[in-house]
Amino acid sequence: MWNGLCYHDTLPRSEVRLTAGLEKSVLVFDVGGSHISAAVCHGGAGAYRLSPVISASHPAEQTCNAFVSLLHSLGVEASASIDGVSGAALAMPSSPW
């Protein structure tokens, strides 16, 4: 079993314990300044591997619906040939405000 930490990025930091089996696969998203990437992360106990990374530029239409739609399409493409994806994780820059 893998025990990790998940932090909510506000002050004060809150801590949540996560436990995942070694066979787990999780859809992961990385939201950057110019594009969004998605892949499936497999494994645990220090033996992680990523499926091929799928990327796309931010949508031209800056709405929540367009953003979520892009996340969905990237997730579908990244996990198309992978069975047993058991969750998702999203990494994005914190706001300076």
pLDDT band at residue 97 using 50, 70 and 90 as cut-offs: low
Please name the residues in contact with 90: beta carbons below 8 A apart, sequence gap of 6 or more: 28, 29, 31, 71
Q: What number of residues does the chain have?
A: 97
For the question of whether the overall pTM of this predicted structure is more than 0.75, the answer is: no
**Average pLDDT score over residue span 55-75:** 94
Structural domain boundaries in the chain: 22-91
Spell out the CATH class of 22-91. Answer: alpha beta
Residue 11 has pLDDT above 90, yes or no: no
Peptide bond into 59 cis (omega under 30): no
